[in-house]
Structure 1
């Protein structure tokens, strides 16, 4: 992979990413607290046939944070500025968790720029109870309370693959920029319904994928996203949780390859 820095103009500042491979472009966006390296298994596999660009989200890795108080639409606007700077034409766009919210919102707002979209472990129309819980966590993070163990317990099981991935993720979370983390988590907490009504206008192939053990990005949410989009398809990976692209990399990569081979858009 080749590290790259894009010097975007204000209000965005520099954006860092990892690039690999040649061919049709695939853009990957990670979740809150992660970085572009979290896509390493998929980058290695997909770059054999595609040009893969894994972005560092604002306030993560080497990317500058967004202004204080930014909500999900500001992250979608950031992505639009990044893709305009990259000048790739229509892209295959995949996001994980918060990245899935950004990717889904982008597909709603800029359908002409998206050839297909994949939403991994995304959230969609949380229940009032789930929304209250995640907004409470966001408030704690903004107040400076950073609990490393709670998300790790929620995201990982006891298998060897889970524990190996957990060690990687713990390292990324431990080094995260707390301001960028708090800002992105707040937008994540408030963004599950922001673009939900627009999914019917996503005319390209849409993949909604999650693990059957993910309590927050549930199989029911994946199915609802797939049903809301005209070319939607849901995949649920059994015996895996939130970081399924790391704990079940072969299964996720296979689903993404099928998605990349899905052509056409509805009229």
Structure 2
């Protein structure tokens, strides 16, 4: 068993919180998990099952996520980064393992650039390192539907742009995952009043993955059928990180954390405990695993 602690923090007037599952006899540094867009601190059960036997686990409701205060329209990655930095300081440990997925990958990468001495290992998944003109067009369509109160259409557009719908590419439970993602987008459209601000930030200021990184053992991973940013482009990003390993997970797209959740948790376990990655049975040979940076 492990102790659960909820810590309430704030940056300026914005309140947020994190959840710590404490492992009294850890084998590695605490693992801090930061997920995508609106993902809160209770969305990582497989990570809990796999990692808490060997490490303390931290998940968060950052500003704009879960039960935290909304992120102001004129704020973005800088405030989110400050909140993540404050969580690391509040933990009171010299170093952490940091896991960031999708939007969380941008926050985690920025944190590692600012504070490399505090990061023992860095795992980044589903890195949105490139946004195509077609994707920007889809984002604008989604924003228009949301602004017009067309919630069903908004949910359809946003779900379709996040998933690989090509029937020639094998993704198990594709229809089930599509329904889940679409329902989540519909729930957000109806119940998250600041969702338009989030979309506008995505349109105005794309994610930044410039500047490279050195001195932090790193891993970049993705589903082999990720259509938001292709595995090839994510591999190019991984090459900007010194000594970075890069792997693709078979039969999955951008929602690999849902489609192959147990495998993602196992990959994180292997990386954060120093076990070899190349023997993992779920890796795709389409892009050979290995060090690229």
TM range (shorter): 0.7 to 0.9
Q: Does 1:235 align with 2:242?
A: no
Q: Does 1:181 align with 2:191?
A: no
Alignment check: 8 A CA contact 2:155 2:183 kept: no
**In structure 2, do the counterparts of structure 1 residues 198 and 252 end up closer, same or farther at CA, with 3 Å as the change threshold?**
same
Alignment check: 8 A CA contact 2:172 2:251 kept: no
Structure 2 counterpart of 1:150, from 157, 175, 194 = 157
Counterpart position of 1:244: 256
Q: Which structure's relative contact order is higher, taking Cα pairs within 8 Å and 6+ residues apart?
A: 1
Structure 2 counterpart of 1:15, from 17, 20, 32 = 17
**In structure 2, do the counterparts of structure 1 residues 191 and 20 end up closer, same or farther at CA, with 3 Å as the change threshold?**
farther
Q: CA deviation at 1:204?
A: 0.8
Q: Does 1:100 align with 2:105?
A: yes
Structure 2 counterpart of 1:211, from 210, 223, 242 = 223
TM-score, normalised via structure 1 length: 0.82
Q: CA deviation at 1:98?
A: 0.6
Q: Does 109-118 or 79-88 show the bigger shift?
A: 79-88
Counterpart position of 1:84: 89
**In structure 2, do the counterparts of structure 1 residues 156 and 87 end up closer, same or farther at CA, with 3 Å as the change threshold?**
farther
CA RMSD of aligned residues (A): 2.9
- Mark the runs of 5 or more structure 2 residues left unpaired by the alignment: 276-293
Counterpart position of 1:132: 136
Deviation sequence 1:16-68 (CA, Å, 0-9, x none): 43635443200001111322233221122111111111112321211112222
Larger CA Rg, structure 1 vs 2: 2
CA distance in 2, matches of 1:67, 1:61: 15
- Mark the runs of 5 or more structure 1 residues left unpaired by the alignment: none
Structure whose residues are more often helix by fraction: 1
Aligned residues: 260
